[in-house]
Amino acid sequence: MKEFFLNLKEIREKKGLTLEEISERTRLSIQYLRDIEKGQLENLPAGYDRIFFKRYLKEIGEDKDEVWRDFNLFFGTGPLEKNMPYSSDIPESKKESPIEEPEEKKTEVPEKVSAFQNLMMQLNMDKIYKYFWGIITIAVLGIVGYFAYQQYIFVKNTPPEVKEISVSQYISEMQTQDSLLTPRMSEDTEISSAGEVEFDVRLHARERTWIREIRDQKDTTDYIMSEGLNRKISASQSVKLMLGRADGVELWINKDSLGVMGAPDEVVVSLVLTQKGITEKRLKKITPTRETPPDTSASISAAAGNMSENARDAE
């Protein structure tokens, strides 16, 4: 019996037919067609095994009397009884009466097929599953894409919040931070540029002051200078300073005293010193806040408030 179905499979393959092509034309699932070629007709829907088998035979061109004769001999249903289903639902054959009725009277009326069963026979379930999951995938991608686009539009139309801060306010904030990020001098110091030294700048702290120092336009240092400390800076070209309070430091170029740079309510935005003296001096006046911090940088803490736009140029 196994060879019978293998022969049918070989005929189908020699004709260059695939199960997918047969499934397309007959609307039978590929699994049913595989069961037919394996001879596992019991896996087909009860009552439809012969109908499905007949469709298969038509597609491969083997719906012939001799094929049905072999089929009926294998399954014991008698020769050429094509409409007799082969399944577990076949009723047991009754004992034959001594007088046999004519052949045509023994033909059983085929079971009536319901509308649902007829529809399931016509539909290709493999295709339905593919279309179903394809639609689900497209729907999910569409929803994700929609929300991503909405997020992009929201970010695009919402300008980032930019907080503007003036130079003098920046100096004041650096002065008041007084954290581990800003080194504090605990003793007198000296620093020298790598190039040839042309002049010296000396600083003496009258009050606790935040200082940013730029030597020869490349070496930058931030530090807090405590009251009473001294610092000597040797440079080749220039020394640029920013001071958290204008009256916090006395300065000398070589042996020439420059005194303090401004009043207690001012910060030094830019002070450029060269061998010739002061080449740039810009100060900003600050308005004190209502509350004054209790530390030595009280006047500098006031820089967190609004600042005046008046600047005094160097003489």
**295 and 208 in a common domain:** yes
pLDDT at 240: 95
Q: Report residue 148 as tokens.
A: 């991503």
CA 221, CA 72: separation in Å to the nearest integer? 103
Q: Is residue 232 part of a domain?
A: yes
Residues 42 and 62 in one domain: yes
- Cα distance between residue 200 and residue 273, in whole Å: 10
Checking if the pLDDT of 273 tops 70, the result is yes
- The confidence score (pLDDT) of residue 289 equals 55
Query: How confident is the model at residue 104, as a pLDDT?
Result: 47
Domain count, the chain: 3
171 & 305 share domain = yes
Sign of CA dihedral 205, 209, 214, 220: positive
Domain match, 154 and 195 both: no
pLDDT at 95: 37
Name which of 231, 230, 238 is nearest 197 in CA terms: 238
Stated length of the chain: 315
Structure tokens at 257: 């005293």
- 181 shares a domain with 143: no
Q: Which residue has the higher pLDDT, 155 or 82?
A: 155
User: Is 117 within the bounds of a domain?
Assistant: no
* pLDDT of res. 294: 47
Question: What is the number of other CB atoms lying within 10 angstroms of the CB of residue 64?
Answer: 10
Q: What is the pLDDT of residues 21-62, one digit of tens each?
A: 999 988 899 999 998 888 888 888 888 888 888 998 999 888
User: Same structural domain for residues 308 and 181?
Assistant: yes
- Same domain for 181 and 142: no
Which H or E element spans position 299?
helix 298-301
Q: Are strands 219-225 and 184-185 parallel, antiparallel or unpaired?
A: parallel
Query: What percent of the chain stands above pLDDT 90?
Result: 30
pLDDT top residue among 232 and 117: 232
Residue 145 shares a structural domain with residue 220: no
pLDDT for res 123 = 64
Verify that 199 and 308 share a domain, yes or no. yes
If phi > 0 it is left, if psi is from -120 to 50 it is alpha, else beta; for residue 27 that is: left
Q: What is the pLDDT of residue 174?
A: 65
Residues 73-125 have pLDDT tens digits of 777 654 444 444 444 333 333 334 344 444 444 444 445 556 666 666 666 66
For residue 100, is it within any domain? no
Surface-to-core class of residue 153, CB atoms within 10 Å of its CB (0-12 exposed, 13-18 middle, 19+ buried): exposed
Please tell me whether residues 183 and 291 are part of one structural domain: yes
C-beta of residue 305 within 8 angstroms of C-beta of residue 288: yes
Q: Do 171 and 309 fall into the same domain?
A: yes
Q: Which domain holds residue 38?
A: 1-89
39: left (phi over 0), alpha (psi -120 to 50) or beta: left
